[in-house]
Structure formats: C-alpha cells, structure tokens
C-alpha cells in the first residue's frame, strides 16, 4: 500500500540551482573575492553534492588545499550565501515546478505522508516551503544533508526520511532529478519518478520507473522521456497508486530493479 511520497528539493520541488549559483556569486562579491561561478562551471560543480562540499571542492581545485584561515573564510562564505539565498526566495524569486503543488495537495487530501529528503541546508528548505506554502508546510518530515552522515549518492538522507515517517521503502515513492539522487533513492530501496531540471538536462535518468520533463498539469502536459507513461501527460496520485499496487516492487538494496518492459528498453 502506498503510504508516502518523498521529494528531493533542488531541481525537483523547484528550479533552485541557479538561485544558489547567484547567491554564491553575491557572497563572493560582498566578501571581496574575485571568484565567479558561471552556469557552465556550476553545472560541473553540481557533480559534488551539498553546497559546503561544492565550495570546498572548488577552493581545493582552484586555489589549493585550504589552511585554517581559508576554512574559516569558507564557513563565512557559506553562511553569507545561505542568507542571500533566503532573501531571494522570500522576495518571490522561486516558484514550485509544474505539478508539485497539485500532487502534494492530492496526497495530503488522501491522507498520505509527505517528506523532503535533500542535501541542501535546512534554512534553504524552510525558506522555499514558507514562501510556496504560506498556510503551513504540508510536509510531515524534512530530512536534510547536514543531518545525514553521508550525502547523496549515498542513501542516508532517504533512510532518515523513511525512519522519521515510520514507513518501509516499499510503501513510498521518491521524486528526484539527478543521477546522484536516483542512486540515493534506489539504494534506500525506493522506486523513483525522475523529472529533468535545468542543470540535469544531460543526466541519464536510468533506474527511475518513469522519467518525465515535469509532473505536468491538466492542459499543460509534460514530455514523456522513458519508463511508464502517464494519462494526459500528468503524474497523478491515482496513477502512482495504481502503478504501486500493480507493479511497484522496491529495488534491491544494491539498487537493482526489475527488468524494464520490452517497450522501455533502450530509452533509459
């Protein structure tokens, strides 16, 4: 029985990544650094999961292993960036991706549990949810990267979300947008719906039982990419429950899935 939906944040709930990039660049400028992350550079940096880790990777790669002074500066940069990002979100710079509010509402009305499982920092998640759900967050659980021992592609944050929800992997479905996120969810035993985002356009979405451009809205259907299709180009709770009840088998702990249907082979 389907009991819960678990959502990634960056690129899944909203197209947050470029706002993170802008916030980093403003933090660099405010702190007197001549660093600048272009969209092309940021796309490469996104292979490193987590803002703090991304910054550390950039510093080590471009400026050498940091000493104590540089590490303190990196902490200041990230704190400043988090504040800038929160301000941008509060001013309405981000909206939820197509279909998110609709599907979350359907799940809530049906009594399903909802969770966030993200590598981003908790203040970033709180800011996004506060703006887009002004009457109160519909999510029962928020699990963030700083609370998990290891970040994606490790399964820790999804395992943490499942534990807090009190549901088994076979009773939930995850929503992701990246290779690392899909791997994380699969290794936690969760089936995955994948949506392409701005910075994951070149990612293989293999492993997801369905991959689409977005969740779709009535009258504004998504583009089907691979796996199972959705009636009308819209991912609905009824459709998810039907798939789960008919064919939903959680992946093995190693991330293996059942063989795709013949018509899906070669489209992953």
The dihedral through the CA atoms of 163, 127, 21, 208 has a sign that is positive
Q: Residue 239: CB partners within 8 Å, gap ≥ 6?
A: 230, 231
Task: Give the three-class secondary structure for 172.
Answer: strand
- Provide the H-helix boundaries in the chain: 17-30, 39-45, 51-63, 68-90, 100-109, 122-132, 156-165, 179-187, 237-247
- Active centre residues (catalytic): 8, 10
User: To which residue do tokens 């944040």 refer?
Assistant: 9
Distance, first Cα to last Cα, the chain: 27
């Amino acid at each position: 029985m389907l009991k819960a939906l678990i959502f990634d944040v960056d690129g899944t709930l909203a197209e947050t990544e470029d706002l993170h990039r802008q916030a980093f660049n403003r933090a660099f400028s405010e702190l007197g650094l001549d660093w600048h992350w272009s969209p092309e550079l940021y796309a490469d940096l996104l292979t490193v999961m987590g803002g703090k880790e991304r910054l550390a990777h950039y510093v080590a790669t471009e400026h050498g292993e940091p000493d104590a002074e540089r590490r303190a500066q990196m902490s200041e940069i990230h704190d400043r960036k988090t504040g800038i990002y929160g301000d941008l979100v509060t001013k309405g710079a981000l909206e939820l991706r197509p279909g998110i509010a609709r599907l979350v509402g359907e799940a809530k009305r049906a009594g399903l549990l909802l969770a966030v499982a993200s590598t981003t920092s908790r203040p970033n998640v709180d800011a996004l949810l506060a703006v887009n759900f002004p009457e109160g967050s519909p999510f029962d659980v928020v699990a963030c990267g700083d609370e998990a021992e290891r970040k994606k592609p490790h399964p820790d944050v999804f395992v943490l979300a499942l534990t807090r929800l009190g549901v088994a992997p076979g009773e939930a479905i995850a929503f992701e947008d990246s290779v690392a996120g899909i791997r994380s969810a699969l290794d936690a035993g969760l089936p995955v719906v994948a949506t392409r985002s701005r910075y994951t356009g070149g990612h293989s979405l293999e492993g997801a039982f369905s991959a689409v451009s977005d969740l779709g809205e009535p009258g504004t259907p998504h583009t089907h990419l691979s796996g199972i299709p959705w009636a009308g180009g819209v991912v609905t709770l009824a459709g998810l429950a039907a798939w789960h009840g008919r064919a939903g088998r959680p992946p093995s702990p190693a991330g293996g899935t059942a063989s795709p249907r013949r018509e899906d082979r070669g489209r992953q």
